[in-house]
Amino acid sequence: MAEIRVQNLHKAFAEFTAVKDSTFTVNDGEFFCLLGPSGCGKTTTLRMIAGLELPTSGEIYLGRENVTFKRASARDIAFVFQMFALYPHMTVRQNIAFPLVSQGMPRAEIRERVAQAAKTLHITAMLDQSVSGLTSGDRQRVALGRAIVRQPMAFMMDEPLGALDTEFREIMCAELRALHDRLSATTVYVTHDQREAMSMADKIAIMNQGVIEQLGAPQEIYERPATVFVADFMGSPSMNFIPTTAALARGETTLNIGTAKLPLSAVCDDVSTRSLLYGVRPEHVRLTDDSVFRAEVVGVEYLGNCQIITLNTAAGSTVRAKVDVGVHAARGDQVGLTFDAGEVTLFDQASGRAIPTARDDVPMSLVGTRVAAHG
């Protein structure tokens, strides 16, 4: 196992730039997710690390070694493809043994290693079957088997669960993470599914149009999004953005929207007059009657364990609230909304970036304590 360091990685296809100036480090044994919408350059990044694509500029280190222009076959990285890429003309056993055969490993050892991998993945019974008869879940396991049997320096996985149905995907998610914990294998995992990323990753990189927008632990990314894109992409339903134009002095803890004064963590620097977005997640919106920030209920979705209430504010923006099923709301109700300063992120609309506030000075590791203190 080894750490992977990617520095100023850039990839252009003719005029189109797929990856822009990417820099990140995947620590030894870490489960790293590249998350982003379709076409944002995730696969391209992964393929460059694996050596299936050469970067236009930038460097890739595997452990201490610069592998930027090394052949894929010389990198000792395993790759799991979305469509599994199992060879239909070989049995399960031959598929799993295929990478070992290239190393010229003695037959007895190959048998041993294949048996070991098969046991880990519970596919021993199907070793001598042809791969064409397998269900997609079993194919997935065989593809994983072919990756782990090599005991490579790192694993690359490109949406390995994309071909599975929802129910099975959740099972495989858990299995994959358990497998990772057992092997403590450095893994780069590509997905466009935020739930997969949140549930599995130690660290997530959110990509948008070839750029890494934010890098951090799942909780950090969710609770302290660095950009409007990240805030909007993560969470379902996504974050509410209430637009306004204002200037803020350093240390200011409220923002005027209409007649209401909405709470903020103290801003770290003076903010000159500009368009701002007051961002708050639906689960942090509370419905109260005494608030002066008024809104009208325009829709209620009952989801069993919670309900999503859609509201139109007096200023004309739409806010969604995720509330307990016990809260009574009906279309046409006039309600007041309240927010907690600690749950609010303020964005500069022009740059799309979050405006630093006192909240960001609290290390993420202490956030849990803060929540506990509230509760």
Ligand X SMILES: Nc1ncnc2c1ncn2[C@@H]1O[C@H](COP(=O)(O)OP(=O)(O)OP(=O)(O)O)[C@@H](O)[C@H]1O
**The binder of other proteins chosen from 1, 27, 61, 81 (CB under 8 A):** 81
Determine the Cα–Cα distance for residues 157 and 186; give it in Å rounded to an integer.
Answer: 11
Report the alpha-carbon distance of residue 301 to residue 315 in Å, rounded: 23
Instruction: For the segment 105-134, give every residue that binds ligand X (CB under 6 A).
Output: none
Q: Is 41 in the site for ligand X (CB under 6 A)?
A: yes
Quick one: what does residue 163 bind among ligand X, other proteins, Mg ion, none, with the CB cut-off 5 to 8 Å set by partner type? none
Site for other proteins in 55-74 (CB under 8 A): 71-73
User: How buried is residue 202: exposed, middle or buried, by Cβ count under 10 Å (0-12/13-18/19+)?
Assistant: middle
Contact call for residue 50 and other proteins (CB under 8 A): yes
81 binds, among ligand X, other proteins, Mg ion, none (CB under 5 to 8 A by kind): other proteins
Binding residue for ligand X, selected from 16, 74, 330, 350, defined by CB under 6 A: 16
What residue has token string 């590791």? 365
Element (H, E) at 223: helix 218-223
Q: Say how far apart CA 222 and CA 69 lie, in whole Å.
A: 35
Phi, psi of 138 (to 5 degrees): -70, -35
Residues near other proteins (CB under 8 A), total: 24
Asked if residue 79 lies in contact with residue 150, where contact means CB atoms within 8 angstroms, the answer is no
CB 149 within 8 A of CB 100: yes
Name residues contacting Mg ion, limited to 27-46 (CB under 5 A). 43
Distance CA 284, CA 266 (A): 18
- Name the minimum Å distance from CB 349 to other proteins: 42
Q: Rounded to an integer, what distance in angstroms lies between the CA atom of residue 49 and that of residue 155? A: 10
Q: Which residue, among 108, 110, 80, 81, has the nearest Cα to 94 in the 3D structure?
A: 110
Cα–Cα distance for residue pair 164/333, rounded to 1 Å: 43
Site for other proteins in 221-280 (CB under 8 A): none
**If binding is defined by CB under 8 A, does position 150 make contact with other proteins?**
yes
- Asked if 92 and 123 touch (Cβ cutoff 8 Å), the reply is yes
50 binds, among ligand X, Mg ion, other proteins, none (CB under 5 to 8 A by kind): other proteins
Instruction: Give the type of residue at 327.
Output: V
77 touches other proteins (CB under 8 A): yes
Binding string, 261-290, against ligand X, x = CB under 6 A? ------------------------------
Residue 302 binds ligand X (CB under 6 A): no
Tokens found for residue 281: 């997640």
Work out how close the CB of 44 gets to ligand X at its nearest, in angstroms, rounded to a whole number.
Answer: 3
Within 113-142, which residues bind Mg ion (CB under 5 A)? none
Asked if 15 touches ligand X (CB under 6 A), the answer is no
Q: Which of 2, 45, 48, 75 binds other proteins (CB under 8 A)?
A: 75
Interface ranges with ligand X (CB under 6 A): 13, 16, 18, 36, 38-44, 192
Interface ranges with other proteins (CB under 8 A): 50-52, 71-73, 75, 77-79, 81, 83, 85, 87-89, 98-99, 102-103, 132, 146, 150, 156
Interface ranges with Mg ion (CB under 5 A): 43
